Amino acid sequence: MRFLRAILNKPWDHQGEMASAISGDMMSVSTSPQQLALNLFLAVASVLFALFGVAYFMRMEVDTSSPFFCGAGYWEVLQEPDLLWLNTGVLVLTSGVIEWTKRESRANRLIATKIGLSVGALLTLAFLYGQSAAWGILHESGHLVDSTAASSFFYLLTGLHALHVIGGLWVWLSATMSAFLDRDEPQRIGETVRLCAVYWHYLLLLWVLLFTLFLNT
């Protein structure tokens, strides 16, 4: 590292070189504005879902034997559609494809990056379609949004997660179009893919936590 070389080579005789080394190292570890924005967004989203999780458990502990609770007030264990298992697998596969795409873009393999971008977008659309199909199954079985407290929380949490997926898909599609139309430099596309990979891994972790919550309550 230039910083270490500057120290070992009599820094008092090379103050300018040492300052340049320190400045260069600081720039190398600095975080881009896009990364800072993503970190802030993920922090806010984590707090939001954590609050909903606390409300979920608190609502489960409420005594529903009181006449005050009726209709949507009752906590009835919800039988989640088996389709959610398939949707989870699709999301895991999507996260894997996006991670592979990140590595290919880092190696400046443009064709492989385009393939990964396309496959990742299709898998994300498949996940969203699967979630909507799961909601349809619940709706047909009589579990509406306002049927019980459990169904209300299920629609709320899965819907909120789907909105985050849609937001990430919009950015992903933008990167895909830029890659196919050669509107951006490969380095910039690679940075977008890297940030999307972080976001998708977060969405996968969040969904696994939500799915585990639904299965065990």
For residue 14, pLDDT over 60 is answered with no
Q: What does the pLDDT average to over 116-134?
A: 92
Q: Which residues contact 89 (CB under 8 A, 6 or more apart)?
A: none
Which token pair is 88?
A: 């989870």
Q: From CA 206, how far away is CA 161, in angstroms rounded? A: 8
Q: What pLDDT sits at residue 59?
A: 78
Q: What pLDDT sits at residue 37?
A: 85
Lowest mean pLDDT among 102-106, 132-136, 171-175: 171-175
Write down the pTM of the prediction.
0.75
Q: What pLDDT sits at residue 56?
A: 80
Instruction: Please report the domains of the chain, with CATH numbers, ordered by start residue.
Output: 1-30 (no CATH), 32-215 (1.20.120.80)
* 90-93-95 Cα angle (round to 5): 110
| pLDDT (tens digit per residue) in 17-65 | 444 443 444 333 346 787 888 888 889 888 988 898 888 887 777 655 5
| pLDDT (tens digit per residue) in 181-193 | 776 677 777 788 8
Lowest mean pLDDT among 99-113, 117-131, 133-147, 155-169: 133-147
The residue type at 182? D
